[in-house]
Copies of this chain bind each other. A is one copy, B any other.
Amino acid sequence: MSLYQHSVVQMSSMLRNLDGCLDKAIAFAQAKEFSADDFVGFRLAPDMRPLSYQVQVACDIAKFAGARLAGVEAPSNPDTETTMAELKARIASTLEFLKSVEERAVDGGADREVRLSFLPGMGIKGADYLRQMAIPNFYFHVTTAYALLRSAGVGVGKRDYITELALYPVTD
């Protein structure tokens, strides 16, 4: 198993899938003749965060997972997106950053100390951070974005959520 595969590669794959779900939401709004940007502020429940936040945090978790494991600085994102086009651009810029993160640096990050601003005085090793925090949180926000769009009527399914499988043919 490779830290790089489980962070940069897998999270990039899922962000592309999330981008595809946003495209389906945009097409749904066009067909129903309302502004797709109405989705940006839509929430699954009154006390849950809107779509914009779910996408922003999914992007941030992927960005920070790659950066923290590799021991490099992550770019800053001010979370100002208010349109679907801006959310798609946020995903695209995150994917661009992840492409720049070196595989060897990430794979060397298992014992790298990760510090989190909301847990002062504490550290966590890179491999534990990825498994116990980054991965569960990442899927939490991607799934919430998906569920939010689906509950609003957008025709997304499991095949939009998972797209890439390294299948190979077997004969027996």
Inter-chain contacts of A5 with B (CB < 8 A): 131
Whether the Cβ atoms of B1 and A6 lie closer than 8 Å is: yes
Whether the Cβ atoms of A136 and B136 lie closer than 8 Å is: no
Inter-chain contacts of A14 with B (CB < 8 A): 136
**Number of contacting residues on A, CB 8 A?**
48
Whether the Cβ atoms of A170 and B44 lie closer than 8 Å is: no
Q: Provide the bound-state CA to CA distance between A61 and B137, in Å.
A: 18
Whether the Cβ atoms of A127 and B1 lie closer than 8 Å is: yes
Closest to A148 in B: B147
Q: Provide the bound-state CA to CA distance between A10 and B134, in Å.
A: 12
Known contacts A14-B136, A121-B169, A166-B125: does B150 contact A45 (CB below 8 Å)?
yes
Whether the Cβ atoms of A128 and B1 lie closer than 8 Å is: no
Known contacts A45-B151, A48-B151: does B162 contact A133 (CB below 8 Å)?
yes
Q: Provide the bound-state CA to CA distance between A7 and B151, in Å.
A: 29
Task: Identify which of B1, B128, B143 contacts A165 (C-beta below 8 A).
Answer: B128
Closest to A1 in B: B1
Additional pairs, 16, CB under 8 Å, beyond known A44-B150, A123-B169, A136-B139: A1-B1, A1-B3, A1-B130, A44-B151, A47-B150, A48-B147, A119-B167, A121-B170, A123-B170, A136-B161, A137-B158, A139-B140, A140-B146, A140-B158, A143-B143, A143-B144
